[in-house]
Chain A
């Protein structure tokens, strides 16, 4: 969407494809689910707070209800007791929905290779972007979110229609 910029002045009509327009809309106002599990949730809060200011990317609004959110940031270790809850939250989100696995524990179990921890949240829900780190720096999380944006910009109609949603 590089053609739309203020430099062009009062340009009456812009032609673009519907795909691009919809994908642009999806990336520009992506509302994450207010969902923190462990240590990474604190870094997620840092990302949203004053220094890193996630609202620069249209994400200032965290929705507590999964029905209203587009992105689930799994921030922290997923335990076997919590796993059904995570799955239920994911099922409650409306499509299109995206999952970002934040941190080593959510991505692969991290340092906890034991009885209590699900070895990666991708065993229960499909994940779009993995962010490494224990916990990842806010910059890393922002990079992960921008990576997800890039991916959404490349989505196609046939994926929506055939129901191959994530």
Chain B
């Protein structure tokens, strides 16, 4: 069985990190071996790689011949760690996978557990989840827009975007007590009900945000420098995008109409009326444009959802899986037993496998969950869009200038925590 490290790669970490040219034979062109083209290391510490992405570039002058992405600098072992934790405790770890969209990861993991246990989710919780997911999408896109524009030399968009993002983070803090890593979404529903201040704050946000999107568009959409730097760069054809496993706005910018919210509706998405913005050319500009439209569509969904939030509990009443509220413990012996069972041992899930996918801000976020019949999962695999998008970077950047690479990296909206897990 092939198990050991290849001999060429044995050695100290620092040496293999710097790498030997011989290892690259077959991956870069033969011209690099003779030194005719330049091998350049971009990252893992580079201001425009959005974290710790390392790109090995083969350059002919300014033109990129080969681009070899290298990830794993943020590999955290989250999948392995969840295997050693009970299902409910795993939720806190999924927050930190894609740290720009924590609620999405919560939701996909929790939905996989719910699917496996056939656990019901009250309608109120589902509607609140939709609101949270759309707010997460907006805040994730805001960070994307700010940093993408910053990379391309537009500083002010960054400042505006983070101003609005603070409003959303304040709302998340109301919900869960944490600005980013809330773990608000739990198996069977939500952690707590909405606080009283939440809906007025949301109303305020929904009222002002469309005008702010107008501001961003005024800054960028017709800006000739922006258009020159983005149009016709990093073009991906629809068939190629599908073969490369691209999802989300990046795929839709190539003109493929696939949004999991529409195709396989989950939660209460089928009730809401929204469009799926599509691009035509699949270049950097179209990816930008699609995400800008998604701001408006998300606001549309939130507006419809907040108009009609049903009453009732926010967590399933199935006491085998959901701990009873504190007040019940003083009155009911049964509640004490359930509470003790759930907080010491946790609940058990069958020895089966499920796969759940939802539409995250970056694309399809999937969770493959395999139980053991006990209280801990056998295997959790998170399918993350950034991983696929980074693997496609090599194809997308071929033949472009090195300055365009920065735009391409920004336009696919990668998060290294998402890719490395």
A and B touching (Cβ–Cβ under 8 A): yes
The reply to whether A85 and B180 form a contact with Cβ atoms under 8 Å apart is no
Partner of B179, one of A43, A77, A88: A43
Contact with B along A19-35 (1 / 0, CB 8 A): 00000000000000011
Interface residue B67 (Cβ < 8 Å from any Cβ of A): no
Partner of A51, one of B45, B92, B158, B166: B166
* B76 cross-chain contacts in A, Cβ below 8 A: 38, 77, 79, 112, 114, 116-117
Q: How large is the interface on B (under 10, 10 to 19, 20 to 34, 35 or more residues)?
A: 35 or more
**Shortest Cβ gap from A72 to chain B (Å):** 11
Contact with A along B399-421 (1 / 0, CB 8 A): 00000000000000000110000
The reply to whether A46 and B165 form a contact with Cβ atoms under 8 Å apart is yes
User: Contacts A64-B46, A84-B13 given: A137-B73 contact, CB under 8 Å?
Assistant: no
The reply to whether A135 and B74 form a contact with Cβ atoms under 8 Å apart is no
The reply to whether B180 and A42 form a contact with Cβ atoms under 8 Å apart is yes
From B93-101, B225-233, B247-255, B275-283, the one touching the partner chain is B93-101
User: Contacts A46-B162, A51-B166 given: A39-B73 contact, CB under 8 Å?
Assistant: no
Residues of chain A from 32 to 76 with CB closer than 8 A to chain B in the complex:
34-39, 41-43, 45-46, 49-51, 64, 66, 76
Interface residue B192 (Cβ < 8 Å from any Cβ of A): no
User: Contacts A34-B47, A135-B181 given: A49-B77 contact, CB under 8 Å?
Assistant: no
**Shortest Cβ gap from A132 to chain B (Å):** 13
Residues of chain B from 43 to 100 with CB closer than 8 A to chain A in the complex:
44-47, 51-52, 72-78, 80-81, 92-93, 96, 99-100
With an 8 Å Cβ cutoff, the count of chain A residues facing the other chain is: 37
Report Cα–Cα, A77/B77, bound state, in Å: 11
Report Cα–Cα, A81/B76, bound state, in Å: 10
Interface residue B3 (Cβ < 8 Å from any Cβ of A): no
Interface residue B327 (Cβ < 8 Å from any Cβ of A): no
The reply to whether A81 and B180 form a contact with Cβ atoms under 8 Å apart is no
Secondary structure at chain A's binding surface: helix, strand, loop or mixed?
loop
Interface residue B163 (Cβ < 8 Å from any Cβ of A): yes
The reply to whether B51 and A36 form a contact with Cβ atoms under 8 Å apart is yes
* B78 cross-chain contacts in A, Cβ below 8 A: 112
The reply to whether A38 and B99 form a contact with Cβ atoms under 8 Å apart is yes
**Shortest Cβ gap from B337 to chain A (Å):** 29
User: Contacts A45-B162, A79-B73, A111-B92 given: A39-B417 contact, CB under 8 Å?
Assistant: yes
Interface residue B306 (Cβ < 8 Å from any Cβ of A): no
Interface residue A82 (Cβ < 8 Å from any Cβ of B): yes
Determine the residue in chain B with the shortest Cβ distance to A115: B77
* B46 cross-chain contacts in A, Cβ below 8 A: 64
Report Cα–Cα, A75/B109, bound state, in Å: 26
* A125 cross-chain contacts in B, Cβ below 8 A: none
The reply to whether B162 and A51 form a contact with Cβ atoms under 8 Å apart is yes
Interface residue B143 (Cβ < 8 Å from any Cβ of A): yes
Interface residue B208 (Cβ < 8 Å from any Cβ of A): no
Determine the residue in chain A with the shortest Cβ distance to B15: A84
The reply to whether A84 and B96 form a contact with Cβ atoms under 8 Å apart is no
**Shortest Cβ gap from A49 to chain B (Å):** 3
* B40 cross-chain contacts in A, Cβ below 8 A: none
The reply to whether A37 and B51 form a contact with Cβ atoms under 8 Å apart is yes
Interface residue A89 (Cβ < 8 Å from any Cβ of B): yes
The reply to whether A85 and B17 form a contact with Cβ atoms under 8 Å apart is yes
**Shortest Cβ gap from B334 to chain A (Å):** 32
Interface residue A146 (Cβ < 8 Å from any Cβ of B): no
The reply to whether A39 and B180 form a contact with Cβ atoms under 8 Å apart is yes
Partner of A116, one of B52, B75, B165, B181: B75
* B51 cross-chain contacts in A, Cβ below 8 A: 36-38, 41
Residues of chain A from 110 to 126 with CB closer than 8 A to chain B in the complex:
111-117
Residues of chain B from 143 to 168 with CB closer than 8 A to chain A in the complex:
143, 146-147, 158-160, 162-163, 165-166
Determine the residue in chain B with the shortest Cβ distance to A117: B76
Determine the residue in chain B with the shortest Cβ distance to A53: B159
Interface residue A94 (Cβ < 8 Å from any Cβ of B): no
Interface residue B14 (Cβ < 8 Å from any Cβ of A): yes
Report Cα–Cα, A42/B146, bound state, in Å: 12
User: Contacts A81-B75, A112-B81 given: A37-B96 contact, CB under 8 Å?
Assistant: no
The reply to whether A77 and B166 form a contact with Cβ atoms under 8 Å apart is no
User: Contacts A36-B51, A38-B74, A114-B81 given: A84-B100 contact, CB under 8 Å?
Assistant: no
Report Cα–Cα, A46/B159, bound state, in Å: 9
Determine the residue in chain A with the shortest Cβ distance to B14: A84
Between B14, B74, B78, B159, the greatest number of chain A beta carbons within 10 A of the residue's beta carbon is seen for B74
* B74 cross-chain contacts in A, Cβ below 8 A: 37-38, 76-77, 79, 82
Q: Which residues of A contact B (CB under 8 A)?
A: 34-39, 41-43, 45-46, 49-51, 64, 66, 76-77, 79-85, 88-89, 111-117, 134-135, 137
Given contacts A45-B147, A79-B72, A83-B13, 11 further A-B contacts (CB under 8 A): A39-B180, A45-B146, A49-B163, A80-B13, A81-B17, A81-B72, A82-B73, A84-B17, A85-B73, A89-B45, A112-B78
16 of the cross-chain contacts (CB-CB < 8 Å) are A42-B180, A45-B146, A49-B163, A50-B159, A50-B160, A51-B166, A64-B46, A79-B76, A81-B73, A82-B44, A84-B14, A85-B17, A85-B52, A115-B77, A134-B181, A135-B179
